[in-house]
């Protein structure tokens, strides 16, 4: 009776849950767990007086349908104050109608918070196009389109990125002076690249944030002229020195989680400055090195 009485008098903190949508099983699980570590780091770095914050992670298998179902499960829990994720354009597009209709606080980490619609994606492709032009390419071939990326015509892409562009379906359609931007999954991107190298051994090959997934580098048979782009800001370099999960995508997840906690608890979200699209080159051992734009 004494034990129960003491327990009843104990001050129990309210629980604030942050839903996390990411792949925790299957091919892309390492990226999912890297993101979850970033969520936990953000929770540790953003304490809230009088409340306990915990992540509620659901596997989306990097699949749009599964991602939507996982989002629906999170919405059932009334203690979920915000949702972070998913981690790919396709899965983000898969959950967008559900989460926007629910009116839940949602932070998709792939783009800066001030960018909406297609601007986040167009600016990434435009950055790759600028580098590709410097590398001698006269056209950008867009391959592997999936929902979540802008569904633009060739003329619209060309106008948006400042370089002639064409959407293609197969490696055989790449011209000798083309650079390629891959819009699909990391695994399928590696498969496309491996076939492309039979036709064009040194054609510049670009990816979005999926270029940092270890699955791509493990499956690619060549790392010559491989690049990828992702959003970043001026705080990334110092942040990665202090956190074990320090990939560029993990940093975006971290920022999205911090913003979610602050918004959910009535704080003024901390503003980040100096957003830009960072380009990386994939080295011969599969690691990534940042590229510096030419003057």
> Is 137 found in the same domain as 94?
no
CA–CA gap between residue 269 and residue 263 (Å, rounded): 6
Position 269 in a domain: no
Closest CA to 219 of 186, 184, 174, 248: 186
Q: What is the pLDDT of residues 117-129, one digit of tens each?
A: 789 999 999 999 9
What are 222's two structure tokens? 């060549």
What are 24's two structure tokens? 């925790």
Phi and psi at residue 179, to the nearest 5°: -105, 155
How are strands ordered across the β-sheet holding 106-107?
A: 52-59, 15-22, 80-84, 106-107
> Is 283 found in the same domain as 169?
yes
Domain count, the chain: 2
> Is 165 found in the same domain as 283?
yes
Phi and psi at residue 222, to the nearest 5°: -145, 140
Closest CA to 219 of 188, 180, 181: 188
CA–CA gap between residue 150 and residue 82 (Å, rounded): 26
> Is 251 found in the same domain as 216?
no
What are 27's two structure tokens? 């091919």
Position 40 in a domain: yes
Q: CB neighbours (10 Å) of residue 11?
A: 5
Q: What is the mean pLDDT of residues 177-196?
A: 98
Q: What is the pLDDT of residues 8-42, one digit of tens each?
A: 455 577 889 999 999 999 999 999 999 999 999 99
> Is 200 found in the same domain as 252?
no
> 98 is in which domain, residue-wise?
2-112+233-264
> Is 20 found in the same domain as 92?
yes
Q: What is the mean pLDDT of residues 171-181?
A: 97
CA–CA gap between residue 63 and residue 91 (Å, rounded): 6
pLDDT exceeds cutoff 70 at 208: yes
> Is 237 found in the same domain as 257?
yes
> Is 189 found in the same domain as 125?
yes
Position 225 in a domain: yes
> Is 189 found in the same domain as 103?
no
Helix (H, G, I), strand (E, B), or coil: what is residue 10?
A: coil
Q: What is the mean pLDDT of residues 145-159?
A: 96
pLDDT band at 1 (very low <50, low <70, confident <90, very high): very low
| Distances 78 to 17, 75, 104, 252 between C-alpha atoms, Å | 9, 7, 11, 26
- The pLDDT value recorded for residue 3 is 42
- The pLDDT value recorded for residue 267 is 85
Instruction: List Cβ neighbours of 2 (8 Å cut-off, separation of 6 or more).
Output: none
**For residue 76, what is the domain's CATH number?**
3.40.50.2300
Position 54 in a domain: yes
Position 271 in a domain: no
Rounded mean pLDDT of the chain?
A: 91
> Is 286 found in the same domain as 168?
yes
Higher pLDDT, 114 or 127: 127
> Is 127 found in the same domain as 92?
no
- The pLDDT value recorded for residue 13 is 76
- The pLDDT value recorded for residue 114 is 52
Instruction: List Cβ neighbours of 178 (8 Å cut-off, separation of 6 or more).
Output: 137, 138, 139, 140, 141, 200, 203
pTM over 0.85: yes
The strand pairing partners of 80, in sequence order, are 17
> Is 176 found in the same domain as 46?
no
Position 270 in a domain: no
Q: What is the pLDDT of residues 217-275, one digit of tens each?
A: 999 999 999 999 999 998 999 999 999 878 999 999 999 999 999 999 988 777 666 88
Position 75 in a domain: yes
Position 272 in a domain: no
């Amino acid at each position: 009776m004494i034990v129960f009485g003491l327990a009843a008098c104990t001050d129990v903190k309210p629980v604030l849950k942050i839903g996390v949508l990411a792949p925790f099983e299957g091919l892309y699980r390492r990226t999912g767990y890297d993101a979850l570590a970033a969520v936990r780091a953000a929770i540790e770095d953003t304490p809230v007086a009088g409340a306990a914050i915990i992540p509620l992670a659901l596997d989306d298998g990097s699949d749009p349908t599964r991602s939507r179902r996982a989002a629906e499960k999170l919405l059932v829990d009334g203690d979920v104050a915000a949702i972070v994720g998913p981690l790919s354009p396709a899965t983000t597009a898969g959950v967008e109608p559900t989460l926007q209709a629910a009116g839940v606080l949602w932070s998709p980490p792939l783009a800066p918070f001030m960018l909406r619609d297609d601007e986040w994606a167009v600016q990434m492709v435009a950055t790759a196009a600028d580098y590709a032009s410097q590398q001698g390419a006269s056209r950008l071939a867009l391959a592997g389109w999936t929902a979540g990326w802008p569904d633009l015509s060739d003329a619209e892409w060309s106008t948006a990125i400042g370089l002639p562009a064409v959407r293609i379906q197969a490696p055989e359609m790449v011209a000798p002076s083309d650079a390629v931007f891959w819009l699909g999954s990391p695994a399928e991107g590696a498969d496309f690249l491996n076939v492309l190298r039979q036709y064009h051994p040194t054609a510049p090959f670009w990816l979005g944030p999926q270029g940092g997934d270890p699955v791509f580098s493990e499956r690619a048979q060549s790392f010559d002229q491989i690049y990828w782009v992702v959003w970043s800001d001026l705080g990334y370099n110092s942040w990665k020195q202090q956190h074990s999960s320090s990939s560029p995508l993990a940093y975006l997840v971290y920022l999205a989680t911090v913003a979610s906690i602050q918004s959910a608890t009535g704080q003024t979200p901390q503003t980040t400055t100096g957003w830009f699209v960072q380009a990386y080159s994939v080295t011969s051992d599969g690691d990534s090195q940042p590229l510096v734009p030419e003057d």
